[in-house]
Amino acid sequence: MRSIGYYKGIDFGGDAHLNLRQLEAFRATMRSGSITEAAEIMHISQPSVSRLIGDIERSVGFPLFLRSGRGLTPTLEANTFYKGVEGMFVGVERLQELADSIRTTSGGIISIGTIQSIAAFELPRAVNQLYQRYDDIRFMIHARNTPGILDAVQMNQFDLGIVGQQPPYQGVETLFQTAAPYVCLMPEDHKLVGQAGTVDLEELANSETFVTSGGAFPDHMMSMSSALSNKMQGCSRLSATNMSVAASLVRETGVLAIIDPFSAEQAVNMGGVVFRPIAQDLKYYISIVTSGREQLSRQAIELSEVLAQQLSERVAHVVSYAK
């Protein structure tokens, strides 16, 4: 007989209280007709089975077996009680089978909306772990901006959303959030390459030009002083709302860019550029959101956890690099 486990919750009033282990012993004894065989079925000792049967008899208030020599004869009450116990175990075993099926069968689709900075490197790495593990999961990945992702998650169009603006977010549940320092992207032959420590944007703004974002700097960079922001915008002739485009402009024109560390890593992998930590405290926010954890499959939750771990490790690396 398969052991279901231990469960407290059958209360007969007063001191009468049964657990599932006791009922397993009663069921095994009824099925086998002996304490010895019941002990073998349950992989426990004969005294343990006898003790469990005795506990049940004290709880229910009537004898279950008549003992004659080495044999056992169920009482009338035991036969009636057994019908109820057997029905309960059938239901429990069906639940166990259902749980086994859910645990071993995945299937389905995981839909993800992601910002560009995570779409090209971090997310594919996380997806690959589940892709190799589950051969019946389909992944649908959509690259959008943060407002579009949040709207889609709220409408249950995406299981998971990876967004990049400072929380809080309305109408969604945040599974993970972190913040990484922005970095300064520069051509690999720039005079600042190879120097230790951070670069100061106040100083660089006197001699260097920068790629801006839409003619300005993103709202999440507004911890930058307005004077510095205006100074950097005033001498800029290049603007790009996409970080990967900004990185390409750095590579081709020799100007600098303030860029998130995830996009910076992609740019460095493509060659021709490097990045340096900056002195100013400019934060890039990353969060994983959903419309509700209870609506996610086990595999979708696993994906969010894998990605969260990767992002945490990446942020820790960038922070240590800045030091």
Task: Give the model's pLDDT for residue 26.
Answer: 92
Mean pLDDT for the stretch of residues 141-162:
92
Residue scoring higher pLDDT (151 or 166) = 151
Query: Residue 192: is its pLDDT beyond 50?
Result: yes
- Strand partners of residue 288: 162, 176
Average pLDDT, the chain: 85
- Which residues are CB-contacts of 61 (< 8 A; sequence separation ≥ 6)? 12, 16
Find the mean pLDDT for residues 303-319: 92
DSSP letters along 117-152, please?
A: HHHTTHHHHHHHHHHHH-TT-EEEEEE--HHHHHHH
Burial class (CB in 10 A: 0-12, 13-18, 19+), 95: exposed
Q: What is the pLDDT of residue 227?
A: 87
Q: What sections of the chain are H helices per DSSP?
A: 20-32, 35-42, 46-60, 76-104, 116-119, 122-133, 146-154, 201-204, 226-234, 243-253, 261-270, 298-322
247 pLDDT above the threshold of 90: no
Q: For residues 198 and 178, give the distance between their C-alpha atoms in angstroms, rounded to a whole number.
A: 21
Please say if the pLDDT value at position 236 is more than 70: yes
Residues of the chain with CATH 1.10.10.10: 8-104
Residue 95 pLDDT exceeds 90: no
Strand, helix or coil for residue 111:
strand
CATH number of 109-176+285-322: 3.40.190.10
User: What superfamily would CATH give domain 183-281?
Assistant: Periplasmic binding protein-like II (3.40.190.10)
25 vs 242, more confident: 25
> In the numeric block, which tokens belong to residue 176?
């993970």
Of the given ranges (4-8, 63-67, 83-87, 92-96), which has the lowest mean pLDDT? 4-8
Torsion, Cα of 229, 235, 241, 243 (10° steps) = -90
Please report the pLDDT score of residue 226 as a whole number.
85
Residue 9's φ and ψ, nearest 5 degrees, are 160, 5
Least confident of 83-97, 116-130, 136-150, 197-211: 83-97
The answer on pLDDT for 118 being more than 80 is yes
DSSP letter, residue 278: B
What 3-state DSSP class applies to 85? helix
Which pLDDT belongs to residue 141? 94
Q: Give percent above pLDDT 70 in the chain.
A: 87
What count of other Cβ atoms lies within 10 Å of the Cβ of residue 14?
A: 8
Report the CATH number of the 8-104 domain. Answer: 1.10.10.10
Place of tokens 């002996």: 34
Ranges for all domains in the chain classified under CATH 3.40.190.10: 109-176+285-322, 183-281
**The pLDDT of residue 21 is above 50:** yes
Q: In the prediction, which pLDDT does 97 show? A: 65
The identity of residue 137, as a single letter, is: I
